[in-house]
Amino acid sequence: MSFLFVIPQRSGGICFYPSTTPATPKNPSVNHPSSVCHFLVNTIPIPPIRRHIRWHALFSMHPGTIQSDVFIVGAGPAGLACAIASARQGLDVQVVDAARPPIDKACGEGLLPGSLESLAALGFDLARDLDETESAPLHGVRFLGDSSAPDSYPIIQCPFPAGPGRGIRRTALHPLLFDRAASLGVRFHWESSVRRIEIGKTTATIQTASRPETRAGSRTFRTRYLIGADGHQSRIAKWAGLTAGSVRSRRIGLRQHYAIAPWSSFVEIYWSNHGQAYVTPISSCEICVAFVSREKIGSAEQALRHFPALQRHLLLAKPSGPPRGSITLGRTLHRVVSGNIALIGDASGSVDAITGEGLALGFRQAVALASALKKDNLTAYQRDHRRIQRLPTLMSRSLLLMDRSPRVRDRALNLFERNPSLFARLLQIHIGHAPQRPFAVDPRYNPTTPEPLTSSIPG
């Protein structure tokens, strides 16, 4: 008589194993596979099976190989967003990352209204999820001209027309995304890196290796789709031959948190001949300051010398944690799809940090990619990716022109100061809330807000 035994897999799925010689679990023979199977079935409970998981992802005739619909390399915000969106489409998802959560990275830590809309599209209840996480509302954007100039400098501000954004630490956002993904059944493999990839016509086989101290050893995964969410230096992009593209800008960023109550609920962008400083409230008692420059930034203290108005704000403030640096690129790839491989987030190209759109881009790409995966049509993702990238790329080029040319910057800021409706219009376009009539401003909104401009100028 033949029997069919079931072995629970590391991934949480189960594996059928045929046998013709059953054995009792009381004294299983380790050398007999059927005995081991029978023993496991009777001693290890099998986790409940989610109905929407594809059966081929659960049942494998290759013990030791973990199968899935989607395998994501990189568990940053873009990778987690892709995992969430894919799981919401009913796909079985595995994620691997060389680090352990929460994963930190230097960024401005501001979610503009468009970013929040993308989070809502991923199934987040913004009123509940963000209110339970330490963060701060962002009600608009303020530009401040070069305060090192002897004369007065222009100050331009505009509120967000359709609700506030949110300032949130990267290390607070990451657990929020991770918890959401885990609740949808996404499986994670931390402190593991990809060592080898074999691409077939319909599947990809990935071998990973873990750090010795984790004792997880090497693992083999087989997946329908392989997603590279592993940043600017993406190894997946190199393996897939997707690195061809152009780099339009390359700048250096440095992030520093300060323990001080925010003096404004606006994102403030200070301009100088040495770059920009972005100030984002992230709680009731802390702000994030991100410096971005074409030149090397030695320290936050050194960078502050180029922004006297901001320096005066922070005279009594203490850094709350170490600084963190990064490179910000304006980069476009010719292709982000090859066969059953796709790229997302910085691995798929990026815009300069001056736009504040890095997180939003990853979230929007995730929704588009998951839809394409569900429809088995990565060509649609290539098309959607170009569309999603187009406007932020245009805005990035325009703002970088102001960065490269002090004359252009000063003239633009003076123009915005004289014509606040123009600045309001450009902000609306930037966050995706542009009115239908060209250069018209929604009559319901006033570029001047109850928050006085003088609040930005310390004595």
Q: Pick 438 or 173 by higher pLDDT.
A: 173
Q: Would you state the pLDDT for residue 450?
A: 43
Residue 176: helix, strand or coil by DSSP?
helix
Mean pLDDT for 286-291 is 96
- Residue 213 pLDDT grade (very low, low, confident, very high; cuts 50, 70, 90): low
Q: What value does the mean pLDDT of the chain take? A: 82
Confidence of residue 71 (pLDDT cuts 50, 70, 90): very high
pLDDT band of residue 216 (cuts 50, 70, 90) is low
* Other beta carbons less than 10 A from residue 322's beta carbon: 8
pLDDT at site 91: 97
pLDDT at 198 > cutoff 90? yes
Distance from C-alpha of 247 to C-alpha of 330, rounded to nearest angstrom: 6
Backbone angles phi, psi at 406, to 5 degrees: -55, -35
Of 65 and 60, more confident:
65
**What's the pLDDT score for residue 435?**
52
Tell me, what's the pLDDT at 52?
A: 35
pLDDT in tens, 5-34: 343 443 344 333 333 333 333 333 333 333
pLDDT at 150 over 80: no
The pLDDT, as a whole number, for residue 42 is 33
Residue 22's pLDDT is what?
Answer: 39
Q: Check pLDDT > 90 for residue 218.
A: no
What pLDDT sits at residue 132? Answer: 83
Residue 275 backbone zone (phi > 0: left; psi -120 to 50: alpha; other: beta):
left
The band of 61, judged by pLDDT with boundaries at 50, 70 and 90, is very low
Percent pLDDT > 70 in the chain is: 78
Q: Which residues pair with 246 in a beta bridge?
A: 332
Q: How far apart are alpha carbons 362 and 34 in whole angstroms?
A: 47
Which is higher by pLDDT, 253 or 356?
253
Position 105 scores a pLDDT of 87
Q: Give how far Cα 181 sits from Cα of 56, 67, 186, 289, Å.
A: 21, 18, 6, 29
Q: What is the mean pLDDT of residues 344-360?
A: 91
* Residue with the two structure tokens 């402190």: 191
Count helices and strands in the chain by DSSP H and E runs: 13, 22
**Which DSSP letter does residue 322 get?**
-
- d(Cα 416, Cα 413) in Å, to the nearest integer? 5
User: For the residues of 348-416, what is the DSSP string, one character each?
Assistant: GEE--GGGS-HHHHHHHHHHHHHHHHHTT-HHHHHHHHHHHHHHHHHHHHHHHHHHH-HHHHHHHHHHH
pLDDT of residue 141: 94
Average pLDDT of the residues in 322-349? 95
Task: Kindly write down the DSSP assignment for every residue of 395-414, as one continuous string.
Answer: HHHHHHHHHH-HHHHHHHHH
Query: Crossing angle for the helix pair 406-418 and 378-404, nearest 10 degrees?
Result: 100
Report the percent of the chain where pLDDT is more than 90: 64
CA-based diameter of the chain, in Å?
94
Q: Are 335 and 274 in contact (CB under 8 A)?
A: no
Give strand ranges (E) for 284-323: 286-293, 318-319
Select from 344, 349, 297, 300 the least CA-distant residue to 321. Answer: 300
Nearest alpha-carbon partner for 66 in 104, 10, 113, 120: 10
pLDDT band for position 440 (50/70/90)?
very low
- For the question of whether the overall pTM of this predicted structure is more than 0.85, the answer is no
Q: Confidence class of residue 215 from pLDDT cuts 50, 70 and 90? A: low
Q: What is the pLDDT of residue 27?
A: 37
Report which of residues 452 and 411 the model is more confident about. 411
Q: Residue 288, SS3?
A: strand
Residue 272 pairs in a beta bridge with 275
User: What percent of the residues of the chain are helix, what percent strand, and what percent coil, each to the nearest 5?
Assistant: 35, 30, 40
Sorting pLDDT into bands at 50, 70 and 90, what band is 75? very high
